[in-house]
Structure 1
Amino acid sequence: MTTMLRATGWRHDDSPWAGRRLRARRQGGFSLLEVIAAILLLAITFAALMQVAGGAIGLTRRAAAHDEAAMWARSKLDSAFVLDAPKPGVTAGRFDKDYRWRLQVTPWTAAGVSQGGMMRLYRLDLEVMWGTASHPNRARFTTLRAAVVTPGTSS
């Protein structure tokens, strides 16, 4: 029968069952190479996502530290020289174990305005520092503070 099939030009793959075999082979699943490539692609994507998530966490931590520095600065500047008149000079201290401050007070005059009268303006430059010696962080804040000059004082 095989010889007859060959003589007529009819091949074994042309049989009605050949299509079923091809479909069964195609529906058998993915090859090992395809599975390895898919797992590799997933691993690369997962690593990239973890890198982005780690960066976002680091940025959030830095933003929180800057927010805390801004709150310390606002507290310091709001309470500075409420009871006493500002005195030009530099003072420094600590808010807590992590945050330090340095305040510089200088007399301030607007351009073209004389300094006469009972009010004087002072520029307060506050620097808040935190972090380690190898990774120092700092934020600077500046404001003006008005003070009444009492007769007989020059500040």
Structure 2
Amino acid sequence: MKGFTLLEVVVALVVASLAAVALFEATSSGLSASQNAAQYVQALVRAKSRLDVTVYGAHLAPGTWTGDDGGGFRYRVQVTPIETVNLQSAVQSAARAEAAAKVVLYQVNVWIDWGRNPQRHDVHLVTQQIGG
């Protein structure tokens, strides 16, 4: 007898369909991971931009700011004073200490988040900056 039995054909179709499902799921998972990585890169660029604007854009002052950053991203910036030091020039005498310059060390936090629970993601950048 030549050819395949019905049972052999059914088993071959089941094995082929399982392989096709596994291939589809692997491709879908890879695409999802690629999209997720692209969103993290975009969030990191947005966070770095917010950090630069906060630190270099204007006079640094304590506070918290939040808002919509567009494209489904939201931001939160928090500036907190860590330490205050009074400096005096080497040429100033001890009697003129009241004219010393006040220098403040700030911690700057920037969060960018996107997505909805339970798929919420975020990027958090922290730096310290001297302000006056």
1:86 CA displacement: 1.1
Which has the greater radius of gyration?
A: 1
- C-alpha distance in structure 1 between counterparts of 2:55 and 2:38, whole Å: 28
1:129 aligns with 2:103: no
Segments of 5+ residues of structure 1 without an aligned counterpart are: 1-24, 150-155
Return the TM-score normalized by structure 1: 0.66
Question: Which structure is higher in RCO with an 8 Å CA cutoff and minimum separation 6?
Answer: 2
Alpha carbon RMSD of aligned pairs, Å? 2.1
Structure 1 residues 41 and 130: CA distance shift in structure 2, 3 A? same
What is the CA–CA distance in structure 1 between the aligned matches of 2:58 and 2:39, rounded to whole Å? 31
Which residues of 2 match residues 55-134 of structure 1 at below 5 A? Answer: 55-109=29-83, 115-117=85-87, 119-132=103-116
Partner of 2:17: 43
* Aligned mates of 1:136, 1:39 — CA distance in 2: 40
Of all paired residues, the percent bearing the same amino acid is 25
> Residues of 2 paired with 1:144 and 1:35: CA distance?
68
Alignment: residue pair count: 118
1:141 to 2:106 alignment: no
State the SS of the aligned residue for 1:47: helix
Unaligned runs of 5+ in 2: 88-100
Following TM superposition, by how much is the alpha carbon of 1:120 offset from its aligned partner in structure 2, in angstroms? 3.0
Deviations along 1:30-66, whole A, 9 cap, x unmatched? 2221121111101011111111211111111111111
Deviation at 1:83, TM superposition (A): 4.2
Q: TM-score, normalised by structure 2?
A: 0.76
Moved more, 94-103 or 125-134: 125-134
Q: What is the CA distance between 1:134 and its match in structure 2? A: 6.1
Name the CA distance, whole Å, in 1 between partners of 2:55 and 2:61: 9
* 1:69-97 deviation per Cα after TM superposition (whole angstroms, max 9, x unaligned): 10100111112142422111111122214
